[in-house]
Structures are given as structure tokens and as C-alpha cells.
Amino acid sequence: MSTPPTGSNPARITSEVVAKVAKLASLQLSEAELELMTSQLSGMLDHFADIDKLNLSNVAPLAQPFPLKNVFREDVVVAGVDRDEVLAAAPAAQEGRFRVPPSSGLGEQ
Amino acid sequence: MSNASSAPQHSTALPNGWEMVVGLEVHVELDTKTKLFSASPNRFGDEPNTNIDPVTLGLPGALPVLNKHAVELAIRLGLALNCTVQPSTFHRKNYFYQDMPKAYQISQYDQPINIDGFMMLPGDVRIGIERAHLEEDTGKSTHIGGTSGRIHGSDYSLVDFNRAGVPLVEIVSRPDIRNSDQARQYVAELRSILLAVGASDAKMEEGSMRCDVNVSVRKPGEPFGTRCEIKNVNSIRAVGKAIDYEARRQIDVLESGGTIRQETRHWDDSEGRTHTLRTKEDADDYRYFLEPDLVLLDPDQAWIESIRASLPMLPAARRAQLATLTGANKESESVYVIVERGQDEYVSAVAQAGGDAARALVYVQQAFAEEGSTPKVAASDIATLTQMERDAKITATQAKTILSEMVANGGGDPVAIAAAKGFEALDTSAVEAMVDAAIAQQADAWSKFCAGEEKAMGALVGAIMKASQGKADGKVVTAILQARRTQ
């Protein structure tokens, strides 16, 4: 990623980038929304740029804001949910499974 | 299981000095009772959607909690692969697909639990392991309608979420593999290690071990070429075939002036070829970000060391030990086969009971294919059988007959079986008399043999075996004939 431009009123993110992220997130934004999001995200990046100006060489990177680590569950089975109840809430079901429209397969990893 | 997969074989060389560069990504399902982030059963083959809960289904408000046993198994595997275990985090890998209701997979990204390991292959080939990270499996889609059961052209899909959330470790090799033999050896050895440490049942046919293969080609010394990733490679044999096919396909494209597109391809085992599944332009933009519902995973050193101390002897060390005991090469097929069957301790027990370890290795390989790691025949009886053969009380052929009977009956005293069958070795003077009689009868063969025609020995040996009604020891007969010739 390139370094954002500095100086007054920097364009930290372009509307093209916002449009791409929206597409990846399956969001449909109008032109007005796109403009609004671009300016709001730019403002957030301004804030990060302010943080970047601080000397943080003695601060360890923080993975989570919580003062917690190693939260575990024992490997013990607990009853889940009833299949028929869940399938009844789905738009369509067949043979004990969720029935869904065909996929393009593009999302498959 | 296919023993041949682990034994060294030879793939054909690529044309015109091309070299292939291969890396493997292997997903294995961990052998836990529950899922990675919820308490539903991790069980293959149940009725669809019977092992589900709010976390599995991604229902609003459901929160993941990490399965401690899954972490322990991941560390066991990492240590067995010589990895460094480090503090790690979980990320959301975002994409939309019907078998993943949250619209993201929880995986590990820039801070995986295991990094920088390696595996040794026959011939002291070292394959680097870049990482072995934890992630959750997806559900399973069945595509209905259309022609082939494939995604494209299907009318709709049916989704079962039993597998969604099952703990996986993805083991990513470095691009150190240079031919399909090494790739097969790598997968076979990884499978042996998984079974040895109890991390997974590693059943490729049930999908609990799945391989994606990255292949590119280049001329030696040149930078890496553009790679293609091959999916749906579901057996060790298919790993070798898919790699050989794909490397040749890429060479054909390059030699006819084309270029390789970076893409994902699908291996069709029945056709023996790969097809384009999708091109990778920006499909790989998964917008990873830290999973806010999970905290840092930072296993303390005492836990890691207690896991290390509990590791069993690994297959490579067991092969080395068996090779030393029996005098066989540690890369020989028999050593691989016996360790893969878990019968190396049995061979060791035969040796401890006073048996000949080298003969025991041969007997066990030949006769105990169906026996598993604890054969029914008593190790002490096999020890006795090897002694009888070594002391020339019976011939190798007779030993084989007795061994078959012992295996068929689930045991038996080899001395009693030999007596019942009338197997008694002839003393050497009796064999010598038969040799002299055969030399007299087969004068023509004898003179040819004396003239250096080794094939002529067959007729002499045949006559002697006939005269002895099969009781003469072939090795003794041969030795006497050789001695007579030089007299």
C-alpha cells in the first residue's frame, strides 16, 4: 500500500477504493452514499495519521483491547439446536438440509 | 492403506530441462469431540444438520469460545513438524458462500500458532513447513440439477452444516518439492505423523485430510514461474498424477509461446486432467481483520513442553530404530511398510525373544499384512521359527509353509508344526551325497556349470531338490555346488 499524501485536506482514500470494498462486501451504494462513505473513511484515516505521528516505539502492538488471553472451553459435547425447528425458520429446506439458490461458486475458497 | 505410496518410486523427468516447483497446502480435521468454537459434536457421517448450534449457524449474538483440546492437538502436530509454537491471533476471512452462514471463516492470518518447521523425506530431502495454523471447516453443499453435480448449471444447492466449525489445521509447505515422488512422500509422511501423534484420523476418502497443490515450472536457476493451484486432489496417488499432468500442461503452454495465468484448477481424477475453476484476479481479497470475539492465544512454555514430552516416537525415528535392529536400509520398502502397519514393536519383541531380526522383518512383511499392530501369533514362536531356519533345521520354503499355518491358525508351535509335516532338515553329508549323484546324472549341465554358465546350475539344483523331496536347503545345495566347482 502506498503512503497516503500529506499536507492540508489530503485525499486519504479514493471513491474507487471505497466502491471496490463495497462490492466485496456485497453492499450497493448510491453515488451520494459513496461520496459520504469516502469522506467518513477519510476522516477515520486522518485520525490514524494523527496516531502515526506519535512516538510509539516503546508500545507493544495490541491484538485485542481486552486484558485477556487463553480463554478456552473444554472439549465436551453440549446439545445444540433442534434441526426441524431451525429448518422451519429457513426460507426453504429439503431432505434435512437448507435449500439455497445456485451459487456462482466465486466465493468458494 | 497404500504402502506403495511411501516407498520411493520414480517419476519421469520433464522435457527440455524444465523443473517443477511444488508447494502443498494440506487441511486436516482434528480428532476432537466438539467443534473449534462451539460444543456441537465433531462427527463424520451423521444425519444432515444434527450437529449444529447457534455458533455453527452464525445466529445473531452467538459467540465463539476456543476448544482447548483442538489447540493442544494443533500444538502436538506443530511440534511433530519441528515448528516453533508462538502467540497467535484469529482473523475473519470474509467471503460469501452458502456453506458459511457467517459470511466469514475464522482462521489465522499473520500470527499463526505454528511456524517454520520442516519434514525430512527419503534421500535427506528437507521440505520446509511455512506454517500450520488453526481454522474452522465449512459446511457441505450438494449441487442439485444440471448435468454433473457441479456448481455451474445446477438448479439449487442443499446445505448441511454438520462440518461447519469442525477444527482444521492447514499445513502449508514451502515451495521445496521438485517432483511428484517427493509430493507423494510428503503427503504419506504427513499422514503417518498425524496418525502417530493422534491429531487426526487422516482419512483422505472421508475428507478429513485434503490436499491443494501449487504447481509452477521454470528452467533451473530462473525465478519461480506463475503458479496454479489445484483443488480436489483426494488421494496420494492423485497428488502425483495431478502434479505430473499440470507441470506438463504448463510446459506445453510456455513452449508454444503462451503464458500461464494464475488460476485455481480442478483435478478430474476420472479424466486424469485439470480444468480451470476460476481465475484469481481480485478474488483473493478477503478483507482479513482481527476476530473481535476471540482473545490472544498464548500457550505458556510449561504447557508446550508437557505436550512435547507426551509425543510418541515419530515414524522417522521408528524407521531408523527398526533399520538398526534388522540391518535393513531405513528407506527400504519393508521398513516403511512395517512402521506404517505399526508392527515394528512386534519385530523388536521377536528379536528380544532371541529371534533373528532380519528374518523376522521378512516374515512379518510377507505374512502379517492383515494383522495390525498386535499380531495374534506369539512373538516367541516367530523367534523360534527364525532360529530353526537360521540353524538349517528347516529350509526357507518350509519356514514359509509353517509361517502360513501359524498365521492361519492365529498361532502355533513351529517345532510341532514342522514335526507334523515331516519337515526335518537333511544333514549335510546326505545333501552332499545327493549333490554328487546329481553331478553324475547331469554330466552335461555340470560341465557347462564348470565352464562358467551359471544358468546350468538350475538343472542340478532341480535334480537335487527332487531327490530330497524338497527337504534340502536351497542355500546349502548352492553352496556345496559352488564348492565342488572350485575343488
- CA–CA gap between residue B49 and residue B139 (Å, rounded): 10
Cβ-based neighbours of B378, under 8 Å, separated by 6 or more: B411
- Owner of C-alpha cell 532371541: B354
Interchain CB distance below 8 Å, A80 and B51:
yes
Mean pLDDT of B288-316: 96
Strands A72-73 vs B66-67: parallel, antiparallel or unpaired: parallel
Which of chain B's residues have a Cβ under 8 Å away from the Cβ of A76?
33-34, 39
Cβ contacts from A onto B, under 8 A = 149
Interchain CB distance below 8 Å, B93 and A109:
yes
Which of chain B's residues have a Cβ under 8 Å away from the Cβ of A83?
47-50, 52
CB atoms within 10 A of CB A41: 16
For residue B211, what is its C-alpha cell?
490436499
Mean pLDDT of B387-397: 88
Interchain CB distance below 8 Å, A21 and B96:
no
Domain ranges across chain B: 3-309, 315-420, 428-486
| pLDDT surpassing 60 at residue B199 | yes
Q: How high is the pLDDT of residue B426?
A: 67
- Work out the angle at residue B191's Cα, subtended by the Cα atoms of residues B80 and B330, and round it to the nearest 5 degrees: 75
| pLDDT surpassing 50 at residue B98 | yes
Alpha helix stretches (DSSP H) within B133-287: 180-197, 236-255
Neighbouring C-alpha atoms within 13 Å toward the C-beta of B160: 17
Which of chain A's residues have a Cβ under 8 Å away from the Cβ of B285?
20, 24
Q: How high is the pLDDT of residue B152?
A: 65
| pLDDT surpassing 50 at residue B372 | yes
Q: How high is the pLDDT of residue A10?
A: 52
Residue B233: closest CA among B264, B266, B202 = B266
H or E segment to which residue B105 belongs: strand B104-107
Weakly modelled stretches of chain A, pLDDT under 70 = 1-11, 104-109
Q: Which of A75, A81, A101 sits opposite B156 (nearest CB)?
A: A101
Mean pLDDT of B132-150: 85
Find out whether B361 and B349 touch, Cβ atoms under 8 Å: no
Q: Which of A25, A71, A77 sits opposite B39 (nearest CB)?
A: A77
Q: How high is the pLDDT of residue B232?
A: 81
DSSP state letters, B132-157: EEEEEPP-EEEEESTTTSSSTT-SEE
Three-state secondary structure along A16-76? HHHHHHHHHCCCCCCHHHHHHHHHHHHHHHHHHHHHHCCCCCCCCCCCCCCCCECCEECCC
| More confident of the two residues B466 and B289 | B289
Mean pLDDT of B230-256: 94
* Amino acid identity for residue B302 in this structure: A
Mean pLDDT of B206-218: 95
Q: How high is the pLDDT of residue A9?
A: 46
| More confident of the two residues B11 and B265 | B265
Q: How high is the pLDDT of residue B39?
A: 97
The CATH number that domain B428-486 falls under is 1.10.10
Strands A72-73 vs B125-136: parallel, antiparallel or unpaired: unpaired
| pLDDT surpassing 70 at residue B425 | no
Q: Which of A74, A81, A96 sits opposite B54 (nearest CB)?
A: A81
Residue B38: closest CA among B162, B208, B203, B198 = B162
Q: How high is the pLDDT of residue A1?
A: 41
Q: How high is the pLDDT of residue B486?
A: 81
Q: How high is the pLDDT of residue B281?
A: 55
CB atoms within 10 A of CB B116: 15
- CA–CA gap between residue B151 and residue A104 (Å, rounded): 7
Q: Which of A72, A81, A103 sits opposite B151 (nearest CB)?
A: A103
Q: How high is the pLDDT of residue B284?
A: 65
Chain-centre distance for alpha carbon B31: 18
Interchain CB distance below 8 Å, B49 and A76:
no
Give the pLDDT confidence of B439-476 residue by residue, as tens digits: 888 888 898 988 888 888 888 888 888 888 777 778 77
Provide the b/e sequence for B336-369 (b: ≥16 CB within 10 Å): bbbbbbbbbbbbbbbbebebbbbbbbbbbbebbe
| pLDDT surpassing 50 at residue B129 | yes
Q: How high is the pLDDT of residue B279?
A: 67
Q: What pTM did the predictor assign?
A: 0.84
For residue B388, what is its C-alpha cell?
530353526
* Amino acid identity for residue B334 in this structure: S
Average of per-residue pLDDT values in chain B: 91
Provide the b/e sequence for B140-173 (b: ≥16 CB within 10 Å): bbebeeeeeeebeebebbbbbbbbbbbbbbbbbb
Which of chain B's residues have a Cβ under 8 Å away from the Cβ of A61?
none
User: What's the complex ipTM?
Assistant: 0.84
Q: How high is the pLDDT of residue B5?
A: 41
